[in-house]
Every structure is written in structure tokens, then in C-alpha cells.
Amino acid sequence: MRVARQTPAGVAKMECNSSELRRGPWTLEEDTLLTRYISHHGEGRWNMLAKCAGLKRTGKSCRLRWLNYLKPDIKRGNLTPQEQLLILELHSKWGNRWSKIAQCLPGRTDNEIKNYWRTRVQKQARQLNIESNSKRFLEAVKAFWMPTLLQKMDQNSSLSSSSGALTNSSQSCRNSTLPITTLMYNTNNHFRESSSSVSVTSPLDFTKISLQQQPHEITQLPTVTSVYDVNTLCSNQIPSETYYVDCCGHDMEGFNPGAMIGMGRGSFDISSLSECQVANGDWTSDDMADALWNMDDIWQLRE
DNA sequence: AACTGTGCCAACCGCACTGGT
DNA sequence: TACCAGTGCGGTTGGCACAGT
């Protein structure tokens, strides 16, 4: 995580000439002043706080700095696949309600989520030549991005498992028992990871995951409800609010988003899924500590 | 090495809402 | 009811870091 930009020239340039108020990057001294004041007096009354703390900043600026950077419970580092998945799902429901979405991701700020959306998600939309707010893009996200995130989560949990019974998806497939990682909400609206399993009859089975409730009502998200086969998947009768997990992407004739790109920009058709080429997903060799996974990994452009 | 383009993200801005007077 | 200060939110900007040429 980068610290505030503090080049002397930059700070001088950003300072407000017309008043005593400072603007631009925060200095370490300012951070210390703000943190110390809030630790003694608490948050709120930001304009007064700014004056009393001896900060030549607006109240708004102090509030923003505290909420987005200094607050102790702010989570640092890249978004985990779980968090990315949750953002995608919640954005599909609520749109650009960043603060509302952020409430479901403890330790993450609306600003961070907003930046993630703009830099990562909208980038993918541009590459696909699809409006990021369009239904088509949402379908693409649900068909490709979310499943791969779930797979990533699956493998993360598998690797972190000490039992060794199911070490990765490939082995899971061979055993015909697929660990499915789910996001579980507790009563405080915080999520935690949990794993369950579902039996499959063939490598081409798909697990259907359904999100039936508004997140504030959700007690378990997502919920494994049934198993679909590939014919169902490709029948173009995909209900909204569902997405499909490729439980064993290595072995199946699966999704190659590159092939999707190859279908022609702006011509994404979910019914063409079965025509896609075999996915090349060497997930087991991934460094699971690298939580910064993004769709570039699978949506590589074939120019 | 120098330049250019792009990604990322902290910070700012404008507007809307809320509560107090 | 109108006004104002405080606060929250979403959109936008500015500049550092880094990759590519």
C-alpha cells in the first residue's frame, strides 16, 4: 500500500494559495495529529475536529482521510477472490451504491471498491466492447468471472485445508466430490468462508448457485441448490440471479474467454458457451498468496 | 537513458440529505 | 418554512509507479 504522496514540490503546488487551508496529500504529521485527536475525542463534528486538532484541513478532508486511510480496522492489500465475487454480485443488484456495497465488506472502503470497479471491471468491459452496466456484461461476469473466482476460492480453501483429503479441484473431480466454497453471512452482516461439498455424476456437471435474497436478508450466500448439466447450461435458458460453477475446469470442455473474445467484439452470446475451447486453467500452480486475481487471467485477448 | 502510455488510488468536488434552530 | 452546518455519497481528477518502446 502506497503512502500519501508527499513530494515537496507536489505538496507546495497543491496547497491552497487563497487561504490557510491545506489540500493535497497528507503528511505524516497531519496523520498523527488526526489519529491522536480521534483516539482521545472520537469521531464526528469534523469541522470542529479539524480546528481543535490543529489541522489546516477542511472537516470533509479529515473525515475522508480517517475513513479511507487511518481508521484502524481498514483492511490493507488486494481484494480477495471472495471480496471480488461479492462486489460483482452486489453491484449487479445495487449498481454504483458503493457505500452500501462497502458495508458488506468489512474493512473495505467505498472508495476502494469504487476504484476496483473502475480500474478492473470497467477495463474488462471495455475490452469486450460491452457496456459495464449492461445486462450482457452482467451475464458475461456471471458466466465467466464469478465461476473462476469461485474456483479460485475453492482452491484457496483446499490448499489451506490441513486434512489433505481434498487438495485441489482436479483431485476433487476424480473423487466425484467437489468442495464448494461459499460466502456465509453472520448476523452482523460480515461474511466468512465455509466449505461444503456436492456430488456430481460427470465432469460436465455444473453446480447451480442461486442468490435468492437481498444481501441484508441473506443468511447464507451463495446456496448450493441443484446440479445442472451442460446441456441445460447451454440452452440459453439461464435464469437471472444465477451463475454456474465449473467445478473442474481442467478436465471439462469448458470456457475459454479468449474464444469468447474471438466470437467478435460485441457479439457475446451465452448460448455459444458449448463451442468454446478447452480452458487452460493451471490453477493448482497458482500462488494462492497472490490475492490479486483479476479477469485478465482468463480473458486474455486474442488479437 | 529518455520518453510515453497506462494502471492505480488517494484526494477533491459537487450535490443531496439530515437535524437543529 | 427557511436557513445553515454537518455529514454522506458518487463522480472525477491528479500524480506516482511502472511497463513498454
- Model confidence pLDDT, tens digit, residues A180-218: 233 332 223 333 333 332 222 222 222 223 332 333 333
CA distances to A8, A40, A58, A204, A295 from A62, in Å: 21, 15, 6, 54, 35
**Among all strands, which nt has the closest C1' to A59 (CA)?**
C6
Q: Specify which residue's alpha carbon is closest to the C1' of nucleotide B7.
A: A119
What pLDDT, in 10s, does the model give residues A134-148? 777 777 777 777 777
Reported pTM:
0.57
> In the prediction, which pLDDT does A160 show?
54
Model pLDDT for residues A203-260, shown as the tens digit of each residue: 222 222 333 233 333 333 332 222 222 223 222 333 333 333 322 222 222 233 333 3
Q: Same domain for A53 and A117?
A: no
A261-301 residue pLDDT tens: 333 333 333 333 322 222 222 322 333 333 334 444 444 33
Nucleotides of B under 7 A from a protein CB: 7-14
Q: Which residues contact A190 (CB under 8 A, 6 or more apart)?
A: A106
Q: Strand order in A206-210's β-sheet?
A: A223-228, A206-210, A242-246
> pLDDT at position A227, please?
27
Nucleotide closest to residue A97 (CA–C1'): C10
pLDDT band at A155 (very low <50, low <70, confident <90, very high): low
Q: Is residue A47 part of a domain?
A: yes
Q: How far apart are CA A66 and CA A41, in angstroms?
A: 14
Please give the nucleotide, over all strands, whose C1' is closest to the CA of residue A45. Answer: C6
The chain-wide mean pLDDT, for chain A, equals 53
Q: For residue A1, is it within any domain? A: no
Give the pLDDT of residue A194.
Answer: 32
d(CA A43, CA A108) in angstroms, rounded, equals 18
pLDDT of residue A159: 57
Q: If we measure between CA atoms, which residue out of A87, A68, A71, A67 comes closest to residue A79?
A: A87
What Rg, from alpha-carbon coordinates, does chain A have? 23
The three cell numbers locating residue A217: 436478508
Angle at A89 between CA A63 and CA A84, to 5 degrees: 65
Number of domains in chain A: 3
Q: Can you give the residue range of the structural domain that contains A97?
A: 81-128
Q: Based on the domain organization, do A104 and A149 belong to the same domain?
A: no
Residue A61 sits in the same domain as residue A172: no
Is residue A96 located within the same domain as residue A164? no
Q: Which of the nucleotides in strand C have any atom less than 7 Å away from a protein CB atom?
A: 5-12, 14-17
Within a domain: A76: no
A169 and A212, same domain (yes or no): yes
